[in-house]
Amino acid sequence: MNAPDRYEKFVVPEGTKKVSYERDMKIMNAATFVIEREDHTIGNIVRMQLHRDPNVLFAGYKLPHPLQYKILLRIQTTSQSSPMQAYNLAIDDLDKELDHLKRSFEDEMVRLQSENREGL
Amino acid sequence: MDGQGQMSSSYQRFPTVKIREMKDDYMKFELKNTDPSIANALRRVMIGEVPTIAIDLVEIESNSSVLNDEFLAHRLGLIPLISERAMDMRFSRDCDTCDGDAQCHYCSVEFKLNVKCDGDQTLDVTSLDLVSSDMRENPVVAVDRAADMNVFDASEQRGIIIVKLRRGQELRLRAIARKGIGKDHAKWSPAATVTFMYEPDIHINENLMETLTLDEKREWIESCPTKVFDIHPDTQQVFVVDAEAYSYDDEVIKKAEAMGKPGLVSINAKDDSFIFTIESTGALKASQMLLNAIDILKQKLETVRLSPETEEDDAQFIDLEQHMRGGGGR
């Protein structure tokens, strides 16, 4: 009867920001990003991509509760960068990686099809 | 490039793919030069977030079968429908042409089912009895109807049984299929299975191996539950026949220790090389499932980009902070 709607898992409620950002008041270049309606899929790939960036001193994410459909992503960087810059760079790199993956998969499909045609 | 230090750098990876086997509903491929997080994200997206079409609303006009109405509605929902069009369709919750529950061709497809048993024999009502009202060139039809278009051989064109009717029983209903994702309900998941394994890297210590007698070698090979190793018939050397058969069970390592030969073999999982096995329910082709998953993941990344307002707020914040520290720059 009082069950929440199933779509609450993936639809951002009206008036809520998808990504909000809060700076750490005690540590330089540290911040927490709250990403609404996302889970390990996004959290883990962004975290691992941030780890590739030598300017990132810390990057971690957590899913605070399985029934709260949001993740917290915490980033600390050196003074050469900023959490926001590192976050944007990680997303850009992941986006490019997926473009590359898509292209190489499509090329592979074409290669496989032409191979099959020769085989016949 | 790197001189400016800031946005000019990139830590991008360049993944490669090699397809081992590809059928309509099955695919096996290698994914290399990437991270386990990407492999797992692809797996998760294929299972839970690639959209398909499935029956979601059922209006029963007449049901005198042995199954109750909700039982039938559930069974109808689980029938895979050809979902090639799903990526271009709208979710009914954000369809502005209709109010979400009506039928408009942007977000829904209507099916009718009208069967009555008149004979003495029990009558099977199957997915083939579902009649789509969709008349466009790429219609959404129940998967097994597509079998007519020579996907499977004739012996398998039987459809999916919904219910069996006895003489005099009838079933009349109208069903509306909608776009959805597996996260919402598993009936919308295009994936039967999606798994990946890390490619194993197996090294046999040849010097230590040669200290074993032939029988000991056989005994050691037998300790592996899967056929990973074998003895070469001519040289009597132990070699790896099928590294991927290894299931990371550590049995051969324990056996080597028990035989007093620790370090006989070293096995490591390569963490940048994955072997994917994907099976589709038939709603989408296996290859299309992967392509859609990549697109969905890209869309998700796009939505988590910072909005200009958020970035602006922070810029103002930095100004304020610097001001409070006594003005001026850093």
Query: Domain boundaries in chain A?
Result: 7-119
Q: Which tokens go with A87?
A: 């976050």
- What's the half-sphere exposure (Cβ side, CA atoms, 13 Å) at B248? 8
* Domain co-membership, B59 together with B166: yes
* Domain co-membership, B73 together with B175: yes
* Domain co-membership, B164 together with B220: no
What residues of chain A lie within 8 A of the CB of B317, using their CB? Answer: 23
What residues of chain B lie within 8 A of the CB of A95, using their CB? Answer: 298, 301-302
CATH of the domain at B159: 2.170.120.12
Is B20 within the bounds of a domain?
Answer: no
What residues of chain A lie within 8 A of the CB of B307, using their CB? Answer: 17-19
Flag whether the pTM goes above 0.80.
Answer: yes
Q: Which tokens go with B72?
A: 């039938």
Cα radius of gyration (chain B): 29
What is the chain A residue with the closest CA to B315? A84
The pLDDT, as a whole number, for residue B171 is 97
What is the number of other CB atoms lying within 10 angstroms of the CB of residue B151? 16
Is B24 within the bounds of a domain?
Answer: no
Assign domain A7-119 to its CATH superfamily.
Answer: RNA polymerase, RBP11-like subunit (3.30.1360.10)
**Quick check: B27 and B19 in contact, CB under 8 A?**
yes
What residues of chain A lie within 8 A of the CB of B41, using their CB? Answer: 41-42, 44-45
The pLDDT, as a whole number, for residue B136 is 61
Interface of B with A in 26-65 (CB under 8 A): 29, 31, 34-38, 40-41, 44-45, 49
Q: At residue B32, does pLDDT exceed 90?
A: yes
Q: Look at residues B214, B238, B263 and tell me which one is the last residue of a structural domain.
A: B263
Over residues A108-119, the pLDDT tens digits come to: 999 999 988 887
Is B131 within the bounds of a domain?
Answer: yes
Is B82 within the bounds of a domain?
Answer: yes
Q: At residue B178, does pLDDT exceed 50?
A: yes
Q: Which of B227, B231, B223 is nearest to B242 (CA)?
A: B227
The pLDDT, as a whole number, for residue B187 is 97
What residues of chain B lie within 8 A of the CB of A41, using their CB? Answer: 40-41, 44-45, 49, 297, 300
* Domain co-membership, B62 together with B154: yes
In terms of residue numbers, what domain contains B246?
206-263
* Domain co-membership, B135 together with B72: yes
Question: Quick one: residue B159, left, alpha or beta (phi over 0 = left, psi -120 to 50 = alpha)?
Answer: left
Task: Judge whether B297 is closer than 8 Å to chain A, CB to CB.
Answer: yes
The pLDDT, as a whole number, for residue A6 is 87
In this prediction the ipTM stands at 0.95
Over residues A79-115, the pLDDT tens digits come to: 999 999 999 999 999 999 999 999 999 999 999 999 8
Q: Do residue A44 and residue B15 have CB atoms under 8 angstroms apart? A: no
Over residues B234-284, the pLDDT tens digits come to: 999 999 999 999 999 999 999 999 999 999 999 999 999 999 999 999 999
Q: Do residue A93 and residue B10 have CB atoms under 8 angstroms apart? A: yes
List of E strands, chain B: 16-22, 26-32, 52-63, 108-116, 123-126, 131-132, 161-165, 170-180, 191-204, 229-231, 238-240, 265-280
Is B130 within the bounds of a domain?
Answer: yes
Over residues B106-147, the pLDDT tens digits come to: 888 889 999 999 999 999 999 889 988 876 645 566 666 555
Task: Judge whether A108 is closer than 8 Å to chain B, CB to CB.
Answer: yes
**Quick check: B160 and B126 in contact, CB under 8 A?**
yes
Report the percentage of chain A scoring pLDDT > 70: 99
CA of residue B221 relative to chain centroid, distance: 35
What is the number of other CB atoms lying within 10 angstroms of the CB of residue B104? 14
**Quick check: B61 and B188 in contact, CB under 8 A?**
no
List of E strands, B166-233: 170-180, 191-204, 229-231
Disruptive mutation site among A40, A94, A99 for chain B (greatest number of B CBs within 10 Å): A94
User: How many folded domains does chain B comprise?
Assistant: 2
Is B116 within the bounds of a domain?
Answer: yes
Q: Do residue A93 and residue B17 have CB atoms under 8 angstroms apart? A: no
* Domain co-membership, B72 together with B178: yes
Is B241 within the bounds of a domain?
Answer: yes
CA of residue B53 relative to chain centroid, distance: 15
Is B78 within the bounds of a domain?
Answer: yes
What is the overall mean pLDDT for chain B? 88
Q: How confident is the model at residue B99 (pLDDT cuts 50, 70, 90)?
A: low
- What's the half-sphere exposure (Cβ side, CA atoms, 13 Å) at B200? 18
* Domain co-membership, B124 together with B163: yes
